[in-house]
Amino acid sequence: MAASDYWDSQDLKAVAAGGLVSEDVMSRIFDISDYPLPFTDLVGSDSHDNAYCEWTQDSLNAVDVTNAVVSGADAGSKTDSNGKRVGNHSQTSVKYVYVTTRAQNSNVIGRGVSGELAYGLMQRQKELKRDIEAMALENNASVEDDNNTTAGESGGFDNWIETNIDNSEAGAATGGFNTSTKIVDAHTNATTAVAGTEARLSALIETAYENNANPTVLMSTPACIKRLAVRLFSSSRVATPTANIRGDGGGVGQTSQGYITTMVTDFGFTLELHPNRLQQDYNSNTAASLFGIDPQMVALSYMHRPIAERLSKLGLSERWQISADWCVKVYEEKAHMVYRDIDEDAAWTA
């Protein structure tokens, strides 16, 4: 009998409207969307119980170099520091998953035995956490929820910093917590972005140190961090490794080191460089803020963390909602610093 007389897979594929053979498709979905949350993972976690949450910021009084009294002197006036009462509005962020009964019971590529609903809930929760990461760093003023048409919004980390800042370009203005309105005001970005410079970053670090800040992380967009690292690596002030940096000797396992990950300051503390692909740029996507963060002095606070809740069923479908109620708490804004309006596409200079 000739080979053509047998019922072969080619014959099965030739059956009208797609054939009878499942295509050779690997039952996985390859998702290149990265999940790391640099800011969320770095800072602390807190909780709050009201739509407007408050705390106090405090610091020591300035040094008194005339602090001397005569023997037997009466007690003078008090020297307490009252600090400042601040707060932020909570923000509710949501994602939805709608799946029909048929879709849930279908054998779908990459979903496994848990089905379309479980996969959708997993993906949307990741998206929600990524949204919160990006919004927490935004130039966003806080907004009070009126339970009608205006949604509550958390003031972004960028707006809290008003002491240790570099935003001296034309058109820039500082935001910060407004004690009169109890709103975190948005800052005004400069008209144009300019290339970052070592000198301005160094001056900002010095200002932060003099204000008792001890940031440990420099965080910005990938483009900004890359160009800063290139400048630090090529700067004449940076020592270039000339030996086997792994210390194995004899040329074994040598590593080509072409990137700076840690910056040692003039004041005894180090700053780790953290690129954040979720941090947004601005001014037509060319400007970025470079944050100096003390992780102990900022937190993401939650009325409730991301939770999935089943909504009312409509016929042959399932409806779920994933939500989180959150805000940014900056325990002390003087503990951080920010270099704004950096042209992330331009090379850093001296």
Please give the Cα distance from 40 to 38 (Å, whole number).
6
The domains located in the chain, with CATH, are 38-57+84-237+258-343 (3.90.1690)
Q: What is the pLDDT of residues 71-91, one digit of tens each?
A: 878 877 766 666 789 999 999
Query: How many CB atoms within 10 Å of residue 222?
Result: 14
Confidence of residue 104 (pLDDT cuts 50, 70, 90): confident
Each residue's pLDDT tens digit, 215-264: 999 999 999 999 999 998 877 566 555 555 555 555 555 566 667 788 88
Collapsing DSSP to helix, strand or coil, 350 comes out as coil
- Enumerate the β-bridge partners of residue 54: 87
Compute CA distances 168 → 15, 29, 278, whole Å.
71, 47, 26
pLDDT at 249: 57
pTM over 0.85: no
Q: What does the pLDDT read at residue 128?
A: 95
pLDDT at 269: 85
Q: Would you state the pLDDT for residue 166? A: 93
Mean local confidence (pLDDT), 111-128: 79
pLDDT score recorded for residue 237: 66
- Beta-bridged to residue 100, according to DSSP, are 317
Phi/psi for 227 (5° steps) reads -70, -30
Q: What is the pLDDT of residues 140-168, one digit of tens each?
A: 999 999 989 999 999 999 999 999 999 87
Rounded to whole angstroms, the Cα distance separating 7 from 4 reads 8
pLDDT given at position 143: 96
- pLDDT tens, residue by residue, 282-304: 987 789 999 999 999 999 999 99
Phi, psi of 176 (to 5 degrees): 110, 175
Q: What is the pLDDT of residue 145?
A: 94
